[in-house]
Structure 1
């Protein structure tokens, strides 16, 4: 029997790329074994990876020394090694979990590639394709016709679930949303992402209004740290409330579900600590009657990792699909196609080649070096400093 390979290198690679909306950044991790095999991972801070150099430093200084020289018999022991060595100092959340996620995903990619199987096949695949929902723009960007133009290519591929975003001028957004609901018709499921913008009183008003438009969930209406306010909203909201892209691992998820601080759990393998940790979060949701819909908002390796996550958890039926990131996936990704042409009847195939089925084109990445965002507020087109700080 061939002995397990030893890890000889862990290399973070940051890139920045201008989409048609704004400039975004991404942080990939390349793990190399002593037999030359390579695995790819990616971190996410909920919207690409705005401070990729920060996470790269965490990978270089903290996690790489814990992994290099270790035998890769299985992923979970090395993931536990990274967490246990650092949890009392660096912690389990935020940059620690995000950076650890990238390394863990790369380890899964590497071990599955060497075994000649996809990650989901190695874990235990329950489906070969995943329904995706269109994660679209802020309603303030234009009238309903503008949003229909954005959504048209996705609807043409059979997508029947759509998410749009409200901002500080939420009353105006509701008018646009009502027009969009009429144009889309009842056969399209509609969700709303509020990007942590509101106080509890406004979130309650918004939830009441959204219930009249048959909105299926209201995502992150209140800043994620204001747990008491979130709990109060969930207790009386007529619309299910979704959180999860800022939950870091099983303990975070269980605490949020135990206290009824969400109705829809949105784990992300590139944020929560990796594929295994996101699976634990998703599997725990069944005990609380909570729906699970993974968050995706990063590069091609992150999307592939979350597709494999979804393919191994029976309760996961749908995964987020932001069309603004298609140029990023096409530019940097290798392997399985992830663009609109890969979607049929609203379903995206789970990559079936060894590993995640997706990698990073290193030559292309070298042409797009990472640039810090400076004072720009990530997730906005104008960089408004007061974008997410309360009501109007």
Structure 2
């Protein structure tokens, strides 16, 4: 089949928390098949229009008119053609991820299989962990109530987020731990916030609470600090949603001492690259738990990833995005009501097993972010610039 059109689809959805933008891509072929991909910048895609311009200006001209037989050679050609100018990190890597996912969607559809079957499916359901919000958004009972609907559906893993006012957050966390089932595995996300000294203090307290991992406690560029923390932390240290490809994963595992790796197919270069990252993690004895925090296409791609790698048994589930998935027509597949015994079914339809509506761009027109800072209720920038 020959690629005939590559179109980015940036959209913005309203939610109870804040407007949220998502970055999709649609690839058409001469046999009538249509594939969808999605890029994620760790929380949706704030600058979805920028990602779209990279797709339009850099990748689309190299795709239109070319035959598609296998995914990896096409993606490698795109990467090699742009890495010295655009690079393969940041928005360029995210844009390439969305292209790669759409190509897998097409190749699997052409074969009459799901993407997970095309890759080599090893499970038909994936356990999920409830990825919740910042502890400073309410008292312990507020957070217990947020998690309750998922626990009722058999979820036994959850994550909450600690911020700059970490002393108060840890008091809330201690109380919350007492409100949750003893067998619930609880994780903490630090959102790239802390200095090394504070991260050490927080990690020690987390060890006392039997927290299973401390995610992104220190800005990822502070490599020496992460290595120092990993060497002494009372809990495993997790990174991944800002890792772009196997080289980044190798550095995180071998040099930074990361023991929980969190690749995201919609960020790290695509499904195949995330699978390669998972393979490296196995060599280092690290746990692999993919990140996902975007729209339903990214979730479907990461479910295919998890379903095709034997060492992945858990996937992030940002349940506060369920209204956005519902608006995009994915509630039946991916909404909270779809969770059974703490797991989601891997899509079994051809390709990714999920398709966007043709008029999605008209339904949800893209809005420039302006000064909006996403990922928080108040949109305050200082949440991400250091501890108190």
Contact map agreement 1:335 1:358 (CA 8 A) in 2? no
> Residue 107 of structure 1: CA displacement?
0.5
> Residue 368 of structure 1: CA displacement?
1.1
Contact map agreement 2:224 2:256 (CA 8 A) in 1? no
Per the alignment, residue 8 of structure 1 pairs with 4
Unmatched 5+ residue regions in structure 2? none
Aligned length in residues: 388
Of the three residues 158, 163, 167, the one matched with 1:167 is 163
Per the alignment, residue 132 of structure 1 pairs with 128
Contact map agreement 1:166 1:193 (CA 8 A) in 2? yes
Of the three residues 252, 265, 269, the one matched with 1:269 is 265
Per the alignment, residue 292 of structure 1 pairs with 288
Distance in 2 between residues matched to 1:230 and 1:153, nearest whole Å: 35
Per the alignment, residue 371 of structure 1 pairs with 367
Tell me the SS of whatever aligns to 2:28: strand
> Residue 331 of structure 1: CA displacement?
1.1
> Residue 334 of structure 1: CA displacement?
5.2
Distance in 2 between residues matched to 1:121 and 1:26, nearest whole Å: 27
Contact map agreement 2:240 2:262 (CA 8 A) in 1? yes
Of the three residues 307, 316, 324, the one matched with 2:320 is 324
Q: Would you identify which runs of 4 or more consecutive aligned residues in structure 1 move more than 3 Å?
A: 333-336
Per the alignment, residue 216 of structure 2 pairs with 220
Tell me the SS of whatever aligns to 1:362: coil
Distance in 1 between residues matched to 2:331 and 2:29, nearest whole Å: 20
- Identify if the C-alpha distance between structure 1 residues 336 and 97 changes in structure 2 by more than 3 Å, giving closer, same or farther: farther
Contact map agreement 1:279 1:309 (CA 8 A) in 2? yes
Tell me the SS of whatever aligns to 2:355: strand
Per the alignment, residue 234 of structure 2 pairs with 238
Farther-moved stretch of structure 1 (83-92 vs 305-314): 83-92
Deviations 1:72-100 (A, max 9, x none): 11111111111011111111111111000
Superposition pairs of residues 108-257 of structure 1, within 5 angstroms: 108-257=104-253
Of the three residues 24, 37, 41, the one matched with 2:37 is 41
Tell me the SS of whatever aligns to 2:96: helix
Distance in 2 between residues matched to 1:292 and 1:336, nearest whole Å: 27
Distance in 1 between residues matched to 2:232 and 2:295, nearest whole Å: 36
Distance in 2 between residues matched to 1:56 and 1:46, nearest whole Å: 17
Deviations 1:149-188 (A, max 9, x none): 1111101110000100011101000111011100103111
Whether 1:51 and 2:27 are equivalent positions in the alignment is: no
Per the alignment, residue 385 of structure 2 pairs with 389
Distance in 2 between residues matched to 1:271 and 1:385, nearest whole Å: 23
Contact map agreement 2:237 2:260 (CA 8 A) in 1? yes
Contact map agreement 1:25 1:48 (CA 8 A) in 2? yes
Deviations 1:175-208 (A, max 9, x none): 1101110010311110000111110000000000
Distance in 1 between residues matched to 2:38 and 2:256, nearest whole Å: 30
> Residue 364 of structure 1: CA displacement?
3.8
Of the three residues 24, 27, 43, the one matched with 1:28 is 24
> Residue 283 of structure 1: CA displacement?
1.1
Unmatched 5+ residue regions in structure 1? none
User: What is the TM-score normalised by the length of structure 2?
Assistant: 0.98
Distance in 2 between residues matched to 1:287 and 1:313, nearest whole Å: 14
Distance in 2 between residues matched to 1:336 and 1:23, nearest whole Å: 23
Distance in 1 between residues matched to 2:19 and 2:12, nearest whole Å: 7
> Residue 335 of structure 1: CA displacement?
9.2
Distance in 1 between residues matched to 2:66 and 2:329, nearest whole Å: 28
Contact map agreement 2:33 2:106 (CA 8 A) in 1? yes
